[in-house]
Amino acid sequence: MGVVPDRIERETVLRHPAERVWAALTTAEGLSQWFGSVAEIDLRPGGRAYFRWDDLDAESVATITIVDPPHRLAFRWPVEGWPGDDAPLTLVTFTLEPVAEGTRLRLVESGFAQAADHVARSAHQANSQGWAAELGDLETYLDAAA
């Protein structure tokens, strides 16, 4: 089976200033346009973020850990597919860096290796595909709103 990768890393350059990208990541209005169907966020360390995907009939609750506008946002949320309420948490970190073309957005989700092998593998695969799709949706949303 091999070792379950512990992290997902994605990097993309968005043709928009960091402040616009930050708003898309940190406001309910912004998030609900690209990250799920419904989003609520209490933007402070220890604050709660709620995400719902109507098409998947899925939802997730995250706890904000880092708020450093407009540079870094991090939250912890449960590993997908874990039975019960005591799922291990992964850490999702968005880092924004101004570049000539706009903003380099780096996403890292780490902590999969702490889950049971089959659950971790499935969650890692699902989230790898999910983040690729969601970041594509983010770019589409920002470009359309420009």
Q: Whole-angstrom Cα distance, residue 90 to residue 48?
A: 15
3 state DSSP class of 100: coil
Question: How do strand 48-53 and strand 7-14 relate by DSSP bridges?
Answer: unpaired
pTM above 0.75?
Answer: yes
Q: Do 14 and 102 contact (CB within 8 A), yes or no?
A: yes
User: What 3-state class would DSSP assign to 92?
Assistant: strand
91 phi and psi angles, rounded to 5 deg: -105, 125
Q: How does pLDDT run along the chain (146 residues), one tens digit per residue? A: 467 789 999 999 999 999 999 999 999 999 999 998 999 999 999 999 999 999 889 999 999 999 999 999 999 999 988 877 788 999 999 999 999 999 999 999 999 999 888 889 999 999 999 999 999 999 999 999 87
What is the distance between the alpha carbons of residues 120 and 110, in angstroms, rounded to a whole number?
Answer: 11
List own/partner pairs for 127-132 with CB under 8 A and 24 or more apart: 127/8, 127/80, 127/90, 128/8, 131/8, 131/10, 131/107, 132/10
